[in-house]
């Protein structure tokens, strides 16, 4: 089915602005609902490069997902919704609980309440879920097969044992790719809110006869990412520190890993979800399908920028952080034909080239660490 009029919530954000421009290029009419959060766009949103990239190209509504009236305005004449608007950041979610649950859960509930009780033209809705709903990823125990470890214990990490343990026998484990059938057990408030969003979309989509799709994005990075937000996006956080001439301090032992996926690949996957009927009612991982450790990320960025910044392994840690997670992409490859087009090396090259073209932003990372320390979440 062709969806001509698409609403993107959070459409002035990092992923949203890239998605908006690609959909416009493909001939769609795009409406954006966005509150232009200072954490993402800075104190003067009119100067935000993300906002300026879509200004006058979309029907733009500055508003909140917590406003019933803003939703009603944004939904007028819309065929499909891509719901990206959310508070993001694992660490920050652990001490700003009300804000995260309000925006992510209540904001979603207002949308679904409207779709259930008001006249509308919506036929498809896509929710941006997250790899964070899995908590720790999928592992193999030598004696007990596939297992899903619970959160790591403070007592172990104080002793600099950062590895995950078998929940049955407590021995060390071998990391596996996490597939969509893996156990869902988020270890942060952010992860919980994304799990609830996903479930609400799929349940209500089925109830209302609206095709619903959920994408569990891995760690998304790329050109356009906020370089001033110290709460999310490790590549942008490290880049801002390096460009300010600051050293990089890495949590734990530096071997914790994530799946880093370039934003253009995320946009391509999301568009497949909009366009293909095979996506209806399904959940999909979106990632590169590779585990890359944080120490490698830091050293790669320092080399790419030609910097003299030093890397320190702190052995400090944040409560709620997972050790490893990377995506099994079998399902999205088979059902939607999605294949990532950017390797980590290619993505980093594009990302750092873009960063080099930007004004150096204030490094607010230390402030974010002090906030976590004050809440007892950083040790």
**195 contacts: CB under 8 Å, gap ≥ 6:** 129, 133, 184, 186
Cβ atoms of 30 and 51 within 8 Å: the answer is no
Mean pLDDT of 191-212: 98
Q: Are residues 199 and 143 in the same domain?
A: no
User: Does some domain include residue 379?
Assistant: no
- Cα–Cα distance measured from residue 358 to residue 345, given in angstroms and rounded to the nearest whole number: 20
How do residues 215-249 score in pLDDT, each as one tens digit? 999 999 999 898 888 877 899 999 999 999 999 99
Mean pLDDT of 28-41: 93
What is the average pLDDT score of the chain?
Answer: 94
Structural domains in the chain (count): 2
Measured at the alpha carbon of residue 179, what is the angle toward residues 178 and 181, in degrees to the nearest 5?
Answer: 120
- Cα–Cα distance measured from residue 28 to residue 20, given in angstroms and rounded to the nearest whole number: 9
How do residues 153-185 score in pLDDT, each as one tens digit? 888 899 999 999 999 999 999 999 999 999 999
Main-chain phi, psi angles of 192, to 5 degrees: -65, -45
Q: Are residues 237 and 254 in the same domain?
A: yes
Q: Are residues 209 and 262 in the same domain?
A: yes
Concatenating the DSSP letter of every residue in 47-59 gives: G-HHHHHHTTTSE
Q: Are residues 274 and 163 in the same domain?
A: no
Q: Are residues 32 and 148 in the same domain?
A: no
Q: Are residues 231 and 89 in the same domain?
A: yes
Give the N- to C-terminal CA distance of the chain in Å, as an integer: 51
pLDDT: which is higher, 118 or 360: 118
User: Does some domain include residue 111?
Assistant: yes
Q: Are residues 271 and 200 in the same domain?
A: yes
266, pLDDT greater than 90: yes
Question: H or E element: which one contains 189?
Answer: helix 189-208
**65 contacts: CB under 8 Å, gap ≥ 6:** 9, 33, 35, 71, 85, 103, 107, 108, 110, 111
Q: What is the pLDDT of residue 60?
A: 97
Q: 175: which strand partners?
A: 139
Q: Could you tell me how far CA 322 lies from the centroid of its own chain?
A: 15
Q: Are residues 169 and 244 in the same domain?
A: no
362, pLDDT greater than 90: no
Q: Are residues 111 and 151 in the same domain?
A: no
Residue numbers of the domain that contains 164: 138-177
Mean pLDDT of 341-355: 97
């Amino acid at each position: 089915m062709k969806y001509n009029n698409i609403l993107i919530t959070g459409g002035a954000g990092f992923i949203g602005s890239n998605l908006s421009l690609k959909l416009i290029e493909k001939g769609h009419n795009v409406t954006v609902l966005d509150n232009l959060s200072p954490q993402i766009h800075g104190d003067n949103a009119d100067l935000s490069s993300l906002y300026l990239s879509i200004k006058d190209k979309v029907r733009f509504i500055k508003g909140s997902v917590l406003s019933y009236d803003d939703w009603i305005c944004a939904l007028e004449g819309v065929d499909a919704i891509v719901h990206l608007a959310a508070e993001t950041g694992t660490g920050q979610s652990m001490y700003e609980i009300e804000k995260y649950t309000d925006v992510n859960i209540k904001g979603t509930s207002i949308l679904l309440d409207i779709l259930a009780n008001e006249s509308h033209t919506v036929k498809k809705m896509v929710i941006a879920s997250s790899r964070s709903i899995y908590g720790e990823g999928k592992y193999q125990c030598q004696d007990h097969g596939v297992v899903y470890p619970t959160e790591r214990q403070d007592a172990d990490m104080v002793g600099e044992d950062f590895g995950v343990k078998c929940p049955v026998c407590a021995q060390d484990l071998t990391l596996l790719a996490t597939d969509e059938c893996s156990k869902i057990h988020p270890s942060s408030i952010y992860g919980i809110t994304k799990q609830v969003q996903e479930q609400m979309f799929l349940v209500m989509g089925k109830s209302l006869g609206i095709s619903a799709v959920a994408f569990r994005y891995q760690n998304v990075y790329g050109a356009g990412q906020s370089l001033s937000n110290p709460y999310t996006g490790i590549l942008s956080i490290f880049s801002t520190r390096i460009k300010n001439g600051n050293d990089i301090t890495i949590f734990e032992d530096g071997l914790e890993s994530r799946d880093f996926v370039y934003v253009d690949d995320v946009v391509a996957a999301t568009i497949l979800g909009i366009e293909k009927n095979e996506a209806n009612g399904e959940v999909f991982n979106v990632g590169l399908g590779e585990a890359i450790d944080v120490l490698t990320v830091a050293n790669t960025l320092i080399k790419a920028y030609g910097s003299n910044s030093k890397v320190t392994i702190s052995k400090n840690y944040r409560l709620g952080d997972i050790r490893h997670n990377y995506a099994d992409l079998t399902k999205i490859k088979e059902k939607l034909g999605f294949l990532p087009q950017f390797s980590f090396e290619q993505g980093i090259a594009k990302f750092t080239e873009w960063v080099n073209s930007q004004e150096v932003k204030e490094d607010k990372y230390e402030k974010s660490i002090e906030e976590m320390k004050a809440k007892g979440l950083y040790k």
